[in-house]
Structure 1
Amino acid sequence: MKPYELIGSAGCGSAIVEMALVLANVPYTLTDVPYLKPGPERDRLLQLNPLGQVPTLVMPDGDVMTESAAMILHLHDVAPQAGLAPPADKPERARFLNLLIRLVGAIYPTFTYGDNPPQWTTAGAPADLLRERVHMRRAELWQELERQAGAPHMLGRRFSALDLYVTVMTRWRPGQAWFESVCPALTAVAREAAQEPNVARVLRRHFPPPTE
């Protein structure tokens, strides 16, 4: 079978899908691109994904997926033994789907709008105010998710791709120190997932420890 091609960037959400591909044990190649930098790599990315975002997944048949949740659900269909999602007949399935869409539909967009507010405001508008309010909203969303976190995984005893999202996204703003202080349950979920050797290997590639 022709391998999948994962187009991503270090430290971005493509780390989540890279982990899922490894756990699913399917053939894939990895194309790292500076996705915001003009050039031939971005030109190709825009041809495949008009939004110019990563992750972008080129399927073995040449079709393209552009949404990480769709990639996760697809890989679960391909390799259910990886446990990326609960089976459809399990009671945890509905909760999994709800939390998955909460992560990608509510929390994820706060980075789109909060990282570069001037892109979304008119000239002279108070971009700092937009950034502050988006960051406040993100904190509220994380704290709401904290109240729903199980142990040792988001779904309790059952591992799922939710743990991969939490493991990667708690390394983004507002930072691990904030999560340790405000969201200890999510921090514990991230630490548990990071103990899986394949997950740990991908984490080290995307978030290398600081050198002294």
Structure 2
Amino acid sequence: MAEYTLYWGPKMGSAAVQAALIWADLPHQLVQVNFGNSEHKTAEYRAINPAGKIPALRLPDGTVLSESGAMMVYLSDLVPERGLLPGVTAAARAEALRWLFLFASEAYPAVLCAYHPENFVDGEAAKQSLLNQATATLDRLSDLFVQQALSKHKFALGDQLSMVDVYAVMLLSWHPALHDLCQRLPVIVGFYENVWADPRVHTAFTQHKLQQPPSL
């Protein structure tokens, strides 16, 4: 079987995609893109992903896919028997897509604003204000996730791990005040630990140097 190529970087959205590739048992190689040296802005990388974003996933036929959420859904649907996400006809499929789209549309941009405010505003006061707003957005989404998912189940969709959980923990690991969040919502600690405990996730998250499960 031809290989997939994942263009990745430490602490990047490629963490969840690598977990999906391992879970799906698809042959793949990893090509690191040095974000610190602005390698993602080079002509060579933009020829792969014109948006200059990490990650990018080259499929065996040469097609390049961007957006980590799209990659996870695509890989999940390639091997539905492996259970990365509920199948397209399953009732839980709608809930899974709802969380993935919510995370991608609100949480991911908030993380970008929190860590790179200089890309959006000028001046220290404006940067701090944007950080505060981004943190508030992540707190609101965490509250929603706890209320509508973790207060009822071990994982987002029930008692079985899915890529929704992997995506959620990746985003949680980037929260600017994760310790404070976990003190306020301690159920997140157990959830975080349960997701990290999966060996497929552990391999990908360790490779990407994501924050280990927090301790209170």
- Structures share fold, TM-score greater than 0.5: yes
**Match for residue 146 of structure 2?**
146
Q: Does structure 1 conserve the Cα–Cα contact (< 8 Å) formed by 2:111 and 2:174? A: no
1:93 matched to which residue of 2?
93
Q: Secondary structure at the match of 1:65?
A: strand
TM-score normalised to structure 2 length: 0.87
Secondary structure of the residue that 2:129 maps to in structure 1?
Answer: helix
* Residue 187 of structure 1: how far off its partner (Å): 2.9
Q: How does 1:13-92 map to 2 (within 5 A)?
A: 13-39=13-39, 42-92=42-92
2:137 corresponds to 1:110 = no
Distance 1:183 1:54, change over 3 A: farther
Match of 2:158 in 1: 156
Q: Does the 8 Å CA contact 1:6/1:30 hold for their aligned counterparts?
A: yes
Q: Which blocks of at least 5 consecutive residues in structure 1 are unaligned?
A: none
Stretches of structure 2 that go unaligned for 5 or more consecutive residues are: none
- Partners of 1:106 and 1:208 in 2: how far apart? 20
**Higher RCO, 1 vs 2 (CA within 8 Å, ≥6 residues apart):** 2
CA distance in 1, matches of 2:165, 2:182: 16
The CA RMSD measured in Å over matched residues stands at: 2.3
Q: What is the deviation of 1:122?
A: 4.9
Q: Residue type matched to 1:114 in 2?
A: A
Measure how far apart 1:139 and its partner are.
Answer: 1.6
1:208–1:12 CA distance, 2 compared to 1 (3 A): closer
The question of whether the paired residues in 1 share the 8 Å contact of 2:6 and 2:55 is answered with yes
Alignment partners' CA distance in 2, 1:127 and 1:176? 20
Change (3 A) 1:25 1:175: farther
Deviation at 1:153, TM superposition (A): 1.1
| Distance (whole Å) between structure 2 residues aligned to residue 57 and residue 141 of structure 1 | 28
Residue in structure 2 matched with residue 194 of structure 1 by the alignment: 196
Deviation readout 1:39-91 (Å, 9 max, x if unpaired)? 48843222222221111101111111111111111111211122111012221
